[in-house]
Amino acid sequence: MSYLYFPGCSLKSSGRAYEESMLSVFSTLGLKINEIEDWNCCGATAYMSISELKAFALSARIFALAERQMQASDRADIVVPCAACYLGLNKTRHYLAEHPKLRRKIYKALNAANLKYTGRMQVRHPLDVLNNDVGIEKISSLLVNPLEGVQIACYYGCQLLRPYSDFDDQHEPSTMDRLLKALGAEIVDWPLKSRCCGGSLTGTVQDVGLRLSYILLKEAKKRGCDVIATACPLCQFNLECYQSRMNRYYKDKINVPVAYFTQLMGIAFGLSPQQLGIQRLFIPLKSGAGHVCL
Residues that bind another protein (CB under 8 A): 9-10, 12-17, 38-41, 43, 45-54, 57-58, 61, 87, 95, 98-99, 102, 105, 108-110, 112-113, 115, 158-159, 162-163, 170, 195-196, 198-201, 203-205, 208, 212, 241-242, 245, 279-282
- Burial-class residue 153 by CB neighbours within 10 Å (0-12, 13-18, 19+): buried
- The helix or strand, by DSSP H or E, that contains position 213, with its residue range, turns out to be helix 206-222
Smaller CB distance to another protein: residue 9 or 33? 9
Smaller CB distance to another protein: residue 55 or 76? 55
Dihedral sign for Cα atoms in the order 186, 192, 194, 195: negative
Q: How far is the CB of 154 from another protein (least distance, A)?
A: 17
How far apart are the C-alpha atoms of 76 and 31, rounded to whole Å?
Answer: 12
Smaller CB distance to another protein: residue 159 or 262? 159
Q: How far is the CB of 254 from another protein (least distance, A)?
A: 17
Smaller CB distance to another protein: residue 9 or 136? 9
Q: What is the dihedral of CA 91, 81, 232, 135, to 10 degrees?
A: 110
How far apart are the C-alpha atoms of 233 and 211, rounded to whole Å?
Answer: 19
How far apart are the C-alpha atoms of 147 and 151, rounded to whole Å?
Answer: 9
Q: How far is the CB of 53 from another protein (least distance, A)?
A: 5
Smaller CB distance to another protein: residue 34 or 145? 34
Q: How far is the CB of 16 from another protein (least distance, A)?
A: 6
Radius of gyration over every alpha carbon of the chain, rounded to an integer in angstroms = 19
Q: How far is the CB of 104 from another protein (least distance, A)?
A: 10
DSSP assignment of 146-177 equals: --TT-EEEEE--STTTSSS--SS-SSS--HHH
Smaller CB distance to another protein: residue 70 or 196? 196
